[in-house]
A and B are shown apart, each in its own frame.
Chain A
Amino acid sequence: MHPLLTVFLIFGIPAGLALGWVFLRGSESLRRYILTRIAHTVPMVLIQISIVFFVLRVMPGDVVSSTLGPKASDAARENIMEALGLDDPLIVQYFKFLGDVVTFDLGDSFIGARRPITDELGERLPATLELIIPAAIVALGTGLLFGTYAAIRRKRTADYSLRLYSVIVYSMPIFWLGLLLRLVFSVWLDWTPIAGRIDVVTNTTLERTTNLLLVDSIITGNWAAMRSVLHHMILPAMTLGLVLSGVFIRLTRINVIETLQEDYVISARARGIRERVVTYSYALKNAMIPVVTVIGLQVAILLAGAVLTETVFNWPGMGRYLIERISSRDFQAVQSTVAVFALFVAMISLAVDVIYSVLDPRVKY
């Protein structure tokens, strides 16, 4: 099975189940909402991919000479033009590209072993996922924990410090935080590996199926590999997660403050339930839903941050791939990668929205 397919299934299956539930059991308004949501996504992705295509086609640099070098023969030039489809009219190229994206046959890359780009992305996308999912967990965990704390300590020192913290992490260039963490934990303290996803030695023992190394090491029972993967994952995930945590802290804080004023919280207090229980199991539980939903909106920011984080930690994900291919002028790969990014963001936001609209009965459309 193609690794790229596996990845899409990971998100596709829950979203599909949710969809199935909606159409079998859901209310009329929910059904309409989801249909509109899907109907809105399709043209948006189409527009995004079109923008990518036309932006890259007005490239002033000559793709052919930069691929072949200036001394190439005319025959070689024509071969390349034909292989890239550059001799077709623009509109034909455009529809061909759309077809390529839809069928997921993105052509061959132009450097190295000239492997199909789909295969190369199949190795890179799981790496990016293995970065952004732990990062999202870090961001959400920190956000819920400290956001609630700020809410119950409202207008006191802790609240103001957390507010300052969230403004500061928001202002931090993500690559700088990454470099600083690397400087302290990898160089000075020597606690974490300096870069990469896994030890070189351990890597040879790991059998890859999904390219999500954590999943691979667990299903093959390779605990040494799992330890190495986790060890490598800590700093990049913390970097990306902490930068986003500020947003979640603020959101959680506002929502908890609001739910703490609800009648059921007041009546729970009146019944003498301990404040801790009231806060965490009455208020936080309900305040969490809007906060978690925001994850869907943050996917774009998460991926943009992942490009920078991957560069700092030499993490072989999609972002690193994009930058590598830009510097080697692999035109086909750049275009396809950006298109896959667009598709990926759209699909995740759609999946998240569908899942939450099913899970949260309070959402009205």
Chain B
Amino acid sequence: MATELETPPDPGQVADWELELQKVGIARRMFMARKWYGTDWWFVAISSVMVVAFLVLAAFPQVFAEYDPLEQVGPRLLAPGERPEQEILVVPIEGPISAIADFEVGVRTPVAVAIDTPSSEAARDEAERITDEIAASGGEGRIRLRIQRFETVPEALEAVVAGEAVAAVISSKAYDAVADDFPMLTNSGAVSSAEQDATSFPLGTNQVGQDVLSRLIWGARIAIFIGFSASIASFVIGVPLGLLAGFVGGKTDRAMTLVMDSIYAFPGLILAIAITAVLGPSIFNIIVAIAVLYIPTYYRIVRGQTLQAKEELYVEAARSLGAKSKVILGRYIFPNVIPSVAVIFSVNVADAILTGAGLSFLGLGLPLDIPDWGIDLARGQEFIRSAWWLITFPGLAVMLIVLAFTMMGEGLVEIFNPKLRER
């Protein structure tokens, strides 16, 4: 192929435009960068939008989540978009009755139900509610039901057709299955007026009837809280240690680096598992466990940069003018080290969120009453055969949030440090 024969540019040579980029400020650089590497720009743009979206979700979950994440709000294991099964009132088409409220007060009205279904309870609850309403409005009398139980749904409907019962209470699904056999009957809506406007759940419900979407939205809060807190903690501890080690040098540096390298070389998750196993489940403890893992990340970068910056002329100049070590470290070295740390912060948040999700998936680190993606996944895997949505959406949420922070971080690295850019 002819195009393959083109010689790619020499990687060692810095292009003119890259040198030009060095001359302008950060804001200009971002705008100019767009011209040079389109995909990176789009990576940053798309991921920033995602990051902002997640931050907004995390800040105001109560606005976006329709239900309380810890309350049972619907039937168990309802598939996404599926309407909850309602208990409906089935009545003769020509009849005067269309709801339990239409029943004659004080008379025991015959109602047909199929046995072993929650229908009779639903009917009684509604009758009781209407009775209470009558009492509240100063009226007298009760709605009374005479429940007639039948073996099957068709038998219950036959009873209504034959006039033995005024109405039948059955589940909407059961009625839909046999509705064609009973053209003289009609569905007059949900028994309970409270359930009349019951909506479906966009992402379904879980094994205890909680709304999956609401739990996802609240889960964003905990994921972001853990990610940011752990990263900030590692930053606050790792950066000064790195500055100190790089600046002081000698034996202190070697000893600290050895310890940091030991933690760095350790399989991170396993160390975090050990720490959370010791501390027990709580949000604070999971943050501590994750923060310990990422201290060496900051330490290594800052130490390396400090070693470099220490040799720069401006540091030497400051020292020869009699500046104290504290001033050199704080005013001359720190500001030059910080940009390279700042860009990895975003990637670090992503890593921390991923580790946090892993820990809570293993059942460590978080108390079970917190709406967390990892916990949801761990519990959902028991229902893998019956409820695919329980393991799909929480994981997708973890992936998207990690993707957003990683892409933003990497894009920023490439835009601010064009020399580090992958060819």
Q: What residues make up the interface of A, taking CB atoms closer than 8 Å to B?
A: 43-45, 47-48, 51-52, 55-56, 58-61, 152, 154, 160, 163, 167-168, 170-177, 179-180, 182-183, 187, 250, 254, 257-258, 260-261, 266, 269, 275, 300-301, 303-305, 307-308, 311-312, 319, 322-323, 326-327, 334, 338, 341-342, 345-346, 349
Contacts and interface: CB of A to CB of B under 8 A. Distances in A.
A68 B261 CA distance: 38
B1 interface: yes
B270 interface: yes
B259 A311 contact: no
State the 4 A-B residue pairs at the shortest beta-carbon distance, nearest first: A176-B395, A304-B269, A171-B402, A171-B403
B280 A44 contact: no
Interface in B266-309: 266-271, 273-275, 277-280
Contacts of A257: 8, 11, 423
B326 interface: no
B5 to A, nearest CB: 7
B391 A176 contact: yes
B377 A301 contact: no
B262 A48 contact: yes
B224 to A, nearest CB: 15
What is the size category of the interface that chain B forms with chain A? Answer: 35 or more
Contact of B384 (A187, A305, A319): A187
Contacts of B268: 300-301, 304
Given A154-B8, A175-B361, A275-B1, A322 B270 contact: yes
Name the residue in A275, A326, A327, A345 with the highest tally of chain B Cβ atoms < 10 Å from its Cβ.
A326
B362 A258 contact: no
B363 A308 contact: no
Contact of B278 (A59, A275, A341): A59
10 contacts: A52-B274, A171-B350, A175-B358, A176-B391, A177-B395, A269-B5, A275-B5, A308-B358, A323-B273, A334-B274
B357 interface: yes
A308 B399 contact: no
Contacts of B192: none
B364 interface: yes
A180 B277 CA distance: 28
B267 A304 contact: yes
A183 B391 contact: yes
Interface of B: 1, 4-5, 7-8, 10-11, 39, 258-259, 261-263, 265-271, 273-275, 277-280, 350, 354, 357-358, 361-364, 374, 377, 381, 384-385, 388, 391-392, 394-396, 398-400, 402-403, 406-407, 410, 422-423
Contact of B377 (A51, A176, A322, A327): A176
Given A173-B358, A175-B361, A275-B1, A326 B273 contact: yes
A327 B407 CA distance: 36
A72 to B, nearest CB: 21
A179 B280 CA distance: 26
B270 A338 contact: yes
A308 B267 CA distance: 12
B273 A254 contact: no
Contacts of A326: 273, 277, 364
Contacts of B273: 307, 322-323, 326, 338
A326 B270 CA distance: 12
A168 B399 contact: yes
Contacts of A334: 274, 277
Given A47-B259, A311-B361, A303 B267 contact: yes
A345 B269 contact: no
Contacts of A187: 384-385, 388
A319 B5 CA distance: 49
A132 B357 CA distance: 22
Given A167-B407, A275-B4, A160 B39 contact: yes
Contacts of B265: 44, 48, 300, 345-346, 349
Contacts of B280: 60-61
A52 B385 CA distance: 39
Contacts of B407: 167
A338 B394 CA distance: 29
B399 A172 contact: yes
Contacts of A266: 7
B262 A308 contact: no
Contacts of A59: 278
B384 A341 contact: no
Contacts of B7: 261, 266
Contacts of A304: 267-270
A304 B267 CA distance: 5
Contacts of B259: 47
B270 A55 contact: no
A60 to B, nearest CB: 7
A47 B1 CA distance: 56
B390 to A, nearest CB: 10
